[in-house]
Amino acid sequence: MYKRSLKKSLVNSTLLLEIFIALFIILAIIISFTDLAKYIYQIIFFNQVISYDLLTNFLGHALLMAVGVELVVMLINHTPGSIIEVLLFAIARKILISSKGMGDFILGILAIAGVFAIRKYLFVEDISGRKGTTLSASTPIKDVNRIVGLNLPEDYANTIGGLLSRYAQDHKIDLREGVKLTIYNANIEIAKMEDNLIEKVKVTKELDEEE
């Protein structure tokens, strides 16, 4: 009991620290708007050659602020989609601002393609996370909670597939592809079954919980 209470306290403490970090990032982003205003002023009133360099710096600064905004979203939501968006903005900034030649540009394009491949073929079906995250039925409950931001009981079953099977058995529910169940703060849909075994599920956090 003491170990579980300590673990819960540590988790709550880390979440609180993440909120403080997010607040400081937001404050830094707000302050950085003054730098954007300075860049705009200099672009308008300086000569054309200098304005090109200023525009490059302006875009770099703006994209860095965008990365900061997405980082805040990632710290708050804890969804795979938010992590991918941070990576996409960071790679885009690298391509547009820091590329020294065609080789760097091609590497950046390949990096973006790799990120989208991860999104498509691993587990992120919807980059925003609002339409659901598709996971293997063998995914441990603790990993599902971390990825989607849920509070599913970790002592009820070991995996998300096991949780569905036990819940269906306890409530006398017939499981088949397309069946949707609401368990705690999660909407869970059976995405794929084979030989009466659950292979993939789509998990969505309830809207009330998100808001």
- The answer to whether 190 and 175 have CB atoms below 8 angstroms apart is yes
Give the integer Cα–Cα distance in Å for 138 and 91.
32
The 10s digit of each residue's pLDDT in 169-185 is 898 898 889 899 998 88
Q: Check residue 121 and give its pLDDT.
A: 65
The 10s digit of each residue's pLDDT in 32-68 is 999 999 988 888 887 766 777 888 888 888 988 988 9
User: Would the pLDDT of 3 be above 90?
Assistant: no
Residue 28 contacts by C-beta under 8 Å, 6 or more apart in sequence? Answer: 68
**Three-state secondary-structure class, residue 130:** coil
Tokens of 191: 């995405």
The 10s digit of each residue's pLDDT in 57-101 is 888 889 889 889 988 888 887 666 677 778 888 888 888 777 777
Domains (range + CATH), the chain: 2-121 (no CATH), 133-210 (3.30.465.10)
The 10s digit of each residue's pLDDT in 126-167 is 544 556 788 889 999 988 888 887 888 888 899 999 999 999
Q: Check residue 127 and give its pLDDT.
A: 47
pTM score over 0.75: no
